[in-house]
Amino acid sequence: MKRILFFCLIGLVVINSSCKKNGVAKSPAQTLTANKSLFATGNQFFKWAKIVPSLTDILDMQIDGDGNIYYLNQGSNNVGTPEFPNTVYYSTILKLDTAGSLVWQKTLPEIVYKMVLDVKGNVYCYGTELADDYNTSFKYSEVLHKFDTDTGTESLTKVVASGVSGFGKTATDIDDIGVDGNGNIFFVGAYLNGADIDPGPGVCLTTGNGAFYLKLNADGSTAFVTPNTLKTGLKSAKLCVGLDGSVAFAGLAEINGTTHVEAEAYKSNGVFAWSKSIDLLKPNAGGLKFMNYNGKDFYLGVGYIFNISVAYQYTIYKIDKGGNLIYQANIASGIPRNSMAVDPNGNVYFTGYFTKGSNNLSPDFDPRASEYRLVPPLGSDMYIDQYDAGGNFRGAVCFHSTTSAYQNDVGKSIIADKKGNLYFSGIFDNPIDFDPTLGVNILTPANIGTQQVFLVKLSQFNP
């Protein structure tokens, strides 16, 4: 629930969808056993699958260097707030250990959008707090929080953006957050109508509308803040921060009435390093969905809508640290994608969900001339598909209900750690075999038909 919206990213359009574990399927008639061939070849080994306590949905997931797992989710109670008289919004952060057991849990009375971790596993997040009289003042603040990795104790709280909602009002708004190896915190955001973009005691007044780049020291004090540092005024930006404090951004830029994606990099002192323009988009017809950094290269997932009634197309762009384009690769269209992961070897993974089309077939996961279809579900099924280090399609796997019931299963997040382990999470409401190899590991919700969160760990090494 952001207060400023420079550009509206258009969501995925569900055209048709697909199912559980794979095979090199040239025919629509595919068995569940054939669906297991992607990870049955030995490039990933099943470790475990668990139901995550205290959650019914997830917004974000992160993994620290020791393999501990962190979750973020938003929720609501029918109690009442100034903005929505019948609803109170809150956010929950959980830490799980390497075995998936709960370590600590924190709840914030605000809408938290994203969290990141430092090298020690401390959690940084930002969210929106509404003024007590929001229904008349329309004032809000975006607040930074830092939580200790061991205890969950909050050690830093700071307002980093604020304003008044509404046309013609002065405001600042955060788009993304990152942290470097020394605990310095970075933000990229937007401002409207000449806002003061310095969250500290200093003043940095702007004119008009634009983007800004903010660095806070580890204690929360302002290191520097600069309006229009983003050379082309990026909107709806995402960022990746290196351990040395170097930063790369990507977002939407408009030049001569045409919107495209621009990637830009800055040194640790905020000095501009390089920029890269990505393929042009039709005005108001797509946007940047994903940005990942595996310590070597940057990976962008950019969406295009060629015809909203036909297909939503994604393209992967791989860019090195110097801003050079290594490859661009089109991936299968018409498949909703909720998360992208990149492992240390440059393999790219996606997760999301699919349904069967009007032809009763799952979508074709192979962007090439050959077909790769999974068993069509009764409702929606989740999947993982993989592209290799050169951007070539490798295969897809689907997680299918073990019953004939109508299911609502969605892959929400996928992450690769520095060792190449994959963590896959989402929601399910029926018994599912979560082992994507030739084994079987079935999880069953406490109440069939009631949504719960699952977590699966895969490893590149056979235990």
d(CA 302, CA 317): 8
Report phi then psi at 136, rounded to 5: -115, -30
Judge if 224 and 368 occupy the same domain. Answer: no
Residue 7 lies in a domain: no
pTM attached to this predicted model: 0.85
Q: Is residue 247 part of a domain?
A: no
Residue 352, domain member (yes or no): yes
Query: Could you give the CA distance from residue 265 to residue 275 in angstroms, rounded to a whole number?
Result: 6
Residues 46 and 73 in one domain: no
Domain presence at residue 274: no
Q: What is the pLDDT along the chain (463 residues), one digit of tens a residue?
A: 344 332 232 233 232 333 333 444 444 434 443 466 666 555 668 889 999 877 888 889 999 989 899 999 887 665 554 544 555 678 899 999 988 889 999 988 888 889 999 999 999 998 887 666 555 556 777 889 999 999 999 999 998 887 776 655 666 788 899 999 999 999 988 887 777 778 878 777 677 777 888 899 999 999 988 876 555 566 678 889 988 999 988 887 776 666 778 888 888 887 889 888 876 554 444 577 888 998 888 998 877 655 444 446 788 999 998 999 999 888 887 788 899 999 999 999 999 988 877 677 778 888 888 888 887 767 778 899 999 999 999 888 888 776 766 677 899 999 998 888 899 999 998 888 888 887 888 999 888 888 899 999 988 755 4
pLDDT value for 211: 81
Cα separation, 82 vs 134, whole angstroms: 6
Residues 328 and 460 in one domain: yes
Residue 281 lies in a domain: no
Amino acid, res. 222: T
**Half-sphere exposure of residue 107, counting CA atoms within 13 Å on the CB side?**
9
Question: Does residue 404 sit within a domain?
Answer: yes
* 433 shares a domain with 319: yes
Q: What is the DSSP string of 12-44?
A: --------SS----SSS---TTGGGHHHHTTTS
| Whether residue 154 sits in one domain with residue 45 | no
CA-based nearest residue to 407, from 60, 20, 53, 55: 20
Q: 81 with 31, same domain?
A: no
Whether 222 is in a domain gets the answer: yes
According to the model, what pLDDT value does residue 42 have? 55
341 and 221 fall within a common domain: no
Q: What are the DSSP calls for 110-140, one per residue?
A: SEEEEEEE-TT--EEEEEEEE-TTHHHH-EE
Residues 34 and 127 both lie in one domain: no
Domain that holds residue 227: 66-118+120-242
Q: Note whether 374 and 460 are same-domain residues.
A: yes
- In the three-class reduction of DSSP (H, G, I as helix; E, B as strand; rest coil), residue 55 is classed as coil
Q: What does the pLDDT read at residue 210?
A: 76
Q: So what's the pLDDT on residue 350?
A: 93
Kindly state whether residues 25 and 112 are assigned to the same domain: no
Element (H, E) at 137: helix 134-137
Q: Are residues 426 and 352 in the same domain?
A: yes
pLDDT at 446: 86
Quick one: 70 and 46 in the same domain? no
Give the chain's domain count.
2
Give, rounded to a whole angstrom, the gap between the first and last alpha carbons of the chain: 43
Q: Would you say residue 406 lies in a domain?
A: yes
